[in-house]
């Protein structure tokens, strides 16, 4: 059993075509076909069958596939360890990003200045796709948006940054601070249901008993932002998207009486027995960023390590964020003055 045969099996499982797998592996289709047939002969079972226009793995191949992926990942880790022992002069970091790509630019700028010989491969996708990439071993790191992401068996949350979702409008706002209920007639432009950007917004509105008048939903911030700029409605957008427009008064914030809404960007690493030095350096670079320069929230945004996250109290759904220590003290004092048990 050869590693090249195993790589061909993994490529076929992901692409469903021998010719496309051959393109990825820079081989000819007959070479891929021969490798797969050799593997079938060694194992004594068929590994794929035709299903319509695609080739589909058999049940035997599906049982084998997770072990094949682990074996290939261990092989790459062994080579990386050897390169580091010999004195690494180059390397590779594979990272995925979705709506959090904004913060990736700041990390990359600093990382490339410090490590010009290390290549960075960036892939895009939503959070489930990126976490699956970590699980398969095709990504080393991922930047994902999630207000409540927790560690699992196959990945580790290195750190996270809080960011504010700001309610903005194209129209000038009055000096008074409306209640959230007073905004029921506004036309809201939100994210698609079920997305990581929309989840904290839904929880926030539900916890505050507010049902918005939604006229549009989009997959990303840029589409929603362009609709607000066109005067078609109001939206809750990350501060980094609208920071310049607010500063130059092209858009106006809606300061209602409700608490601010926060979510998080998390830097997630694939769990492995060996973490390549370039990946470690990338994580260290991310941790060294100046939070003030990221424009994630007014003032100084929170930058949290995994240990910090473990010590934080549970989320307050009315706020759409983790309550800060002074919030908890204020609530306890208020309950004491009211004669209530704390």
- 123-132, 213-222, 319-328: the lowest-pLDDT one: 319-328
Residue 336 is predicted with a pLDDT of: 39
Do residue 307 and residue 254 come from a single domain? no
The two three-digit tokens of residue 210, written as one number: 């507010």
Whole-number pLDDT of residue 335: 39
Pair (248, 280) in one structural domain: no
Is residue 300's pLDDT more than 70?
A: no
pLDDT score at 53: 83
Residues with Cβ < 8 Å from 126, sequence gap 6 or more? Answer: 98, 195, 196
Q: Give 68-100 pLDDT, tens digit per residue.
A: 998 998 888 888 777 765 655 678 899 999 877
In a domain, 341, yes or no: no
CATH number for the domain harbouring residue 114? 3.40.190.10
- Determine the Cα–Cα distance for residues 246 and 239; give it in Å rounded to an integer: 9
Shared-domain flag, residues 157 and 171: no
Q: Is the pLDDT of residue 320 over 70?
A: no
Q: Would you state the structure tokens that stand for residue 192, as one six-digit string?
A: 């698609």
Q: List pLDDT tens digits, range 198-221.
A: 999 999 999 999 999 999 999 888
pLDDT band at 329; cut points 50, 70, 90: very low
- On whether both 109 and 226 belong to a single domain, the answer is no
**pLDDT per residue over 237-270, tens digit each?**
998 889 889 989 999 999 888 889 999 889 999 8
Domain final position from 46, 67, 85? 85
pLDDT beyond 50 at 339:
no
- Specify if 180 maps to a domain: yes
**Do 67 and 196 lie in a common domain?**
no
The whole-angstrom separation of Cα 322 and Cα 179 is 22
* Percent of the chain scoring above 90 in pLDDT: 40
Return the pLDDT at 85. 55
Mean pLDDT of the chain: 82
């Amino acid at each position: 059993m050869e590693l090249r045969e195993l790589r061909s099996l993994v490529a076929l499982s992901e692409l469903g075509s021998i010719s496309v797998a051959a393109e990825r592996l820079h081989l000819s289709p007959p070479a891929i076909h021969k490798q797969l047939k050799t593997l079938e002969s060694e194992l004594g079972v068929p590994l794929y069958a035709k299903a319509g226009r695609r080739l589909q793995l058999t049940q035997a191949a599906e049982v084998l596939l997770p072990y094949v992926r682990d074996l290939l990942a261990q092989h790459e880790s062994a080579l990386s360890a050897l390169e580091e022992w010999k004195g690494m002069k180059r390397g590779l970091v594979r990272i995925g990003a979705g709506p959090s790509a904004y913060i990736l630019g700041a990390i990359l700028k600093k990382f490339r200045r410090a490590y010009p010989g290390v290549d960075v491969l960036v892939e895009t996708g939503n959070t489930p796709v990126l976490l699956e990439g970590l699980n398969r071993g095709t990504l080393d790191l991922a930047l994902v948006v999630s207000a409540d992401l927790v560690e699992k068996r196959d990945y580790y949350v290195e750190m996270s940054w809080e960011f504010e979702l700001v309610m903005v409008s194209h129209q000038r706002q009055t000096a008074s601070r409306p209640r959230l209920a007073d905004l029921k007639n506004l036309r809201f432009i939100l994210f698609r249901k079920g997305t990581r950007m929309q989840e904290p917004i839904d929880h926030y509105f539900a916890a505050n008993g507010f049902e918005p008048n939604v006229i549009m939903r989009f997959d990303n911030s840029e589409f929603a932002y362009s609709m607000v700029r066109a005067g078609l409605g109001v939206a809750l957008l990350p501060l980094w998207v609208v920071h310049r427009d607010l500063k130059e008064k092209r858009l106006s914030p809606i300061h209602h009486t409700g608490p601010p809404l926060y979510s998080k960007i998390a830097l997630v690493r694939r769990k492995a027995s060996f973490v390549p030095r370039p990946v470690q350096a990338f994580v260290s670079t991310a941790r060294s960023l100046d939070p003030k320069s990221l424009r994630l929230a007014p003032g100084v945004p929170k930058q949290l390590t995994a240990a910090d996250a473990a010590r934080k109290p549970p989320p307050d759904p009315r706020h759409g964020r983790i309550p800060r220590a002074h919030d908890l003290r204020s609530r306890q004092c208020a309950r004491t003055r009211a004669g209530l048990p704390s």
